[in-house]
Amino acid sequence: MYQVKHLFRLPVRLYSSLPPKFNPWQDYRAYLDQVKTYINRLNPYVELDLRSAALNWDYILNDENSQIIAENIKQRKENEYADIEQIHALHHDVQALFHRIEEKKLDPIQGEDQIKLKIQDLYNHALRIPNNTHPDVPIGNQEQARVVRLVGKKPETTGNSQTIDQIGQELNLMQLENMGHVSFRGAYALFGDFARLERALMYYTFEKLTKNGFKLVSVPDIIHRGIIESCGFPTKGKRSQVYQLDYGEEFGRYCLAGTSEMPIAGLLKHNTFRKDELPLKLAACSRCYRAELPGGKGEGNLYRVHEFNKVEMFAVTTDDDDVSQEMHNEIVRLESSMFEELGLHFRVLDMPSEELGLSAHRKYDIETWMPAKGFYGEISSASNCTDFQSRRLHIKYIDDNGDERFVHTLNGTAMAIPRMLTAIIESNWKPDIGQVQIPVPLRAFMGNREFISKTSATPRTQWIKFLS
Element (H, E) at 418: helix 417-427
**Which residues are documented as binding site for ATP?**
290-292, 305-308, 378-381
pLDDT digit string, tens, across residues 43-59: 888 778 899 999 999 99
Partners of 255 in beta bridges: 223, 244
Residue 441 class from Cβ within 10 Å (0-12 exposed, 13-18 middle, 19+ buried)?
middle
Whole-angstrom distance, CA of residue 40 vs CA of residue 7: 15
Measure the CA angle with vertex 418, ends 355 and 325; round to 5°. 40
Burial 36-71, CB ≥16 within 10 A → b, else e:
bebbeeeebbeebebbbbbbebeebbbeebeeebbe
**Which residues are documented as binding site?**
259, 290-292, 305-308, 312, 378-381, 411
pTM score, two decimals?
0.91
**Which residues are documented as binding site for L-serine?**
259, 290, 312, 411
Three-state secondary-structure class, residue 398: strand
Whole-angstrom distance, CA of residue 146 vs CA of residue 144: 6
Partners of 256 in beta bridges: 222, 243
Partners of 377 in beta bridges: 368
Is CATH 3.90.226.10 correct for 142-452? no
Model pLDDT, residue 122: 96
**Cβ distance 404 to 396 under 8 Å?**
yes
Count of positions (residues) in the chain: 468
Whole-angstrom distance, CA of residue 177 vs CA of residue 454: 19
Whole-angstrom distance, CA of residue 275 vs CA of residue 398: 6
Model pLDDT, residue 249: 62
* Separation of first and last alpha carbons in the chain: 82
Give 163-201 as a DSSP string: PHHHHHHHTT-EE-TTGGGTSSTT--EE-HHHHHHHHHH
Model pLDDT, residue 80: 84
Ordered by start, the domain boundaries in the chain are 24-127, 142-452
Give 27-44 as a DSSP string: THHHHHHHHHHHHHT--S
Residue 403 class from Cβ within 10 Å (0-12 exposed, 13-18 middle, 19+ buried)?
exposed
Whole-angstrom distance, CA of residue 304 vs CA of residue 290: 9
Partners of 375 in beta bridges: 370
The residues of the chain scoring below 50 in pLDDT are: 1-18, 468
Instruction: Provide the pairing of β-strand 174-175 with 254-256.
Output: unpaired
What Rg value do the Cα atoms of the chain yield, rounded?
A: 26
Model pLDDT, residue 362: 98
- Which pairs from 79-87 meet CB under 8 Å and 24+ separation? 81/128, 81/239, 82/125, 82/128, 82/129, 82/130, 83/125, 84/60, 84/129, 86/125, 87/60, 87/61, 87/122, 87/125, 87/126, 87/129
Model pLDDT, residue 19: 53
